[in-house]
Amino acid sequence: MKEHLIGIIGCGAMGAGIAQVAAVAGHPVVVYDNNAAALQKAQEKLSATLHKLQDKGKLAHAQAVLSRVSFSSQLDALSGSFLVVEAIVEQLAIKKEVFASLEHKVSETCILATNTSSLSVTAIAAACHRPERVIGLHFFNPPPLMALVEVVPALQTHPELVDTSKELMQAWGKIPVVAKDTPGFIVNRVARPFYGEALRIYEEGIADIATIDWAMTTLGGFRMGPFTLMDYIGHDVNYVVTESVFQSFFCDPRYKPSFSQKRLLEAGWLGRKSGRGFYDYSEGQPLPEPLRDEVLGQKIVDRVLAMLINEAVDAKYLGIATATDLELAMTRGVNYPKGLLAWCNEWGPGNVLHLLDTLYSNYGEDRYRASVALRKTIG
C-alpha cells in the first residue's frame, strides 16, 4: 500500500501531523490548504521537525521523507489519491462543501476520511454522492506521537472500509479502535468525568485543585491531574469539546460543562499556552501545595473513578465499542494506568454501583445515574 498517494486537506496542527505520519510510513503525500501562508508555514515546520528527528537518530533520512510530501493550494492536486484525510476547521457546513467538491476531483474508489472530533461522520458523508466511501479517522494531537486512531464508520459506510482503514492505520504504526458514530466517539465520551467530576468536587469546595490533582496522580495513578491536564490541553479546546458533547447528547446532565472552566475561557486564561489557567505559570510563581490528606484523597479518586467506570460500562453496553477497543482507547489513547473495565472488576462492580447510588441519592441528580449494565452485572 506504500505506493498509494495520500491526500490531506488542511495543514494545521492535525493535517500537518497526519501528513508526517503517512510520509514517514512511506507514502507519497499531497497536502492541500486554501491558505497559502499556512501551507508555507507547514512546509517549513515539517522540514524542521523531520531534521530534528534525524539529528536525534529517530529517523534515517529526513530529506527522503520530505521529498515524498508536496504542498498545494489547488484541490485538483488530490486527484490521484487512494485516501484523502480532511482536517480543516470544525464546521459542518464547510466540511460538507469541501467533501462535495472533493468527490468530483478524485477517483470513484478513493476513500474519503474526516478527522472530525465532534461532528457526525454520517452528516458529513451525506454531502457525497457515494457516502459509502466516507469514514471517520480520528487522530489524536499530536498525530506523530499519539498511537491511537478511532475508526468511525458512518451509517452509510461500506463495512469493508472499516477493515481497510484498520489495516492502513496499523501499517502507519497506529493502534486503530472502532467506534460507533456517536458524540465524542470513545475517548472524548468516556474521559469526560475525569474533568467534569473533578471540576464538580472543586466547585463544591470539597478540595482545592492542587489536592485533587495530587489525589488523582499519587493515589489514582494517573499521569497528570485533571486541572494540570485541562491547563495543558487548553480551555479553548477542552471546554469546547465538553460543551459540544453536552449539546450533542441533548443536554444529558452527565456531561454538563462547568462555569469555573467557562469563565477561564472567557478571561482568556487558556492554560499553559497563555501563562495562566487553573494554575498561574508566571515565572517565579510557586504552584499551590496539596493537602496530602489520604482519606480525602481516596474519596476524590473513588468518586471520579466510579464516574469514569460508569461511562465505560455504559459505552460497552450501548455498543459504542468492543470491550477490547474501549480498554485500548483509554490506556493507549489517554494513557490511563488501567483499562476502566478491568478496574471495575478489580474494585468490584457492586462497590462502584454502591458509590454511584449513594451519590445519586445524596444529590438527586440524573448525572449520577448508574448504567443499567452495572446493575445487571451484579444481578
- Contact residues toward ligand NAI (CB under 6 A) are 9-15, 33-35, 38, 87-90, 94, 98, 115-117, 139-141, 237
Q: 188, 238, 258, 310: which is the annotated catalytic residue? A: 188
In angstroms, rounded to a whole number, what is the distance separating the alpha carbons of residues 256 and 281? 28
Indicate the residue among 78 and 309 with the shorter CB distance to ligand NAI.
78
Contacts of 352 (CB under 8 A, 6+ apart): 306, 309, 310, 344, 370, 374
The answer to whether the beta carbons of residues 102 and 10 sit under 8 Å apart is: no
Q: With CA atoms as reference, report the closest residue to 75 among 93, 97, 92, 91.
A: 97
Indicate the residue among 30 and 344 with the shorter CB distance to ligand NAI.
30
| Cell numbers found for residue 379 | 444481578
Q: With CA atoms as reference, report the closest residue to 270 among 296, 298, 238.
A: 238
- 135 phi and psi angles, rounded to 5 deg: -150, 155
Taking the complex as a whole, the smallest distance from the CB of residue 270 to ligand NAI amounts, in Å, to 13
In angstroms, rounded to a whole number, what is the distance separating the alpha carbons of residues 325 and 341? 11
C-beta nearest to ligand NAI: residue: 12
The answer to whether the beta carbons of residues 106 and 99 sit under 8 Å apart is: no
Active-site residue, 188 included: yes
In angstroms, rounded to a whole number, what is the distance separating the alpha carbons of residues 87 and 293? 45
Longest dimension (CA), the chain: 62
Q: 81, 86, 138, 244: which is the annotated catalytic residue? A: 138
Taking the complex as a whole, the smallest distance from the CB of residue 310 to ligand NAI amounts, in Å, to 25
Taking the complex as a whole, the smallest distance from the CB of residue 90 to ligand NAI amounts, in Å, to 4
In angstroms, rounded to a whole number, what is the distance separating the alpha carbons of residues 154 and 123? 8
Contacts of 287 (CB under 8 A, 6+ apart): 210, 279
Indicate the residue among 51 and 96 with the shorter CB distance to ligand NAI.
96
In angstroms, rounded to a whole number, what is the distance separating the alpha carbons of residues 24 and 106? 23
Q: How far is CA 56 from the centre of its chain?
A: 28
Active-site residue, 34 included: no
Active-site residue, 35 included: no
Collapsing DSSP to helix, strand or coil, 207 comes out as coil
The answer to whether the beta carbons of residues 137 and 113 sit under 8 Å apart is: yes
The answer to whether the beta carbons of residues 45 and 16 sit under 8 Å apart is: yes
Taking the complex as a whole, the smallest distance from the CB of residue 143 to ligand NAI amounts, in Å, to 8
Indicate the residue among 35 and 47 with the shorter CB distance to ligand NAI.
35
Active-site positions read 117, 138, 150, 188
